[in-house]
Structure 1
Amino acid sequence: MNCRFADLRHKEVISACDGTRLGFVDDVILDTKTACIVSFVIFGRMSFFGLFGKCEDYIIPWEKIQLIGEDTIIISCKTPNPVKRQKKRRFHQKN
């Protein structure tokens, strides 16, 4: 089965172990040398209308993906630990 990234964005990610709904695929991490997907990224939800920032992101390694169906992606692990998003570096900032 072939799938575009635009199609992945509409699939909900669910943990098979505990049935937790993590959200929808927002981004992918690619290995540029092999052109393979390394992991899916699910952005954290806004907390309290965005006034208190966002929750951390979920990064799901490709090895943990059990099934990609028409509407959902099933992962074979418990809910992964959230990861803080790295701040973007601006080109005019100095170290």
Structure 2
Amino acid sequence: MRVCELRQKEVINVCTCASLGCVIDVEFDPKDGCITALIVPGGSRLSCFWGHEAEIIIPWRCICQIGKDIILVELPKEKDKDRDKGR
């Protein structure tokens, strides 16, 4: 699977059943080239001109399953609290 294919998938937190958005970037270990985390945008600010708040970094170990259209992740509610403040 290519990174561009991951960017087309929606990320869902199975702990809260919330959509976190789509993957915007990945973090990888330069020594072995393995992906260590997925990055999705944080909550949006008041105006789209100001961009997004800090990104949500999802460690690879938190990924439950990668499907055809979605990626299921298991993140504790505390990680989602910052995202919900923007809504």
Offset of residue 10 of structure 1: 0.7
- Counterpart CA distance in 1 for 2:57 and 2:19 is 14
Does the residue aligned with 1:6 lie in a helix, a strand or coil? helix
Question: Larger helix proportion, structure 1 or 2?
Answer: 2
Please point out which of 9, 19, 22 is paired with 1:21. Answer: 19
- Higher-Rg structure is 1
Structure 1 spans left out of the alignment, 5+ residues: 83-95
Look up the match of 1:12.
10
**What are the Cα deviations for residues 41-85 of structure 1, in whole angstroms up to 9, with x where unaligned?**
112344223355522210000000000000000002225255xxx
Q: CA RMSD in A?
A: 1.8
Q: Could you state the TM-score of these two structures normalised by the residue count of structure 2?
A: 0.79
- % identity of equivalent residues: 35
Look up the match of 1:60.
58
Look up the match of 1:76.
74
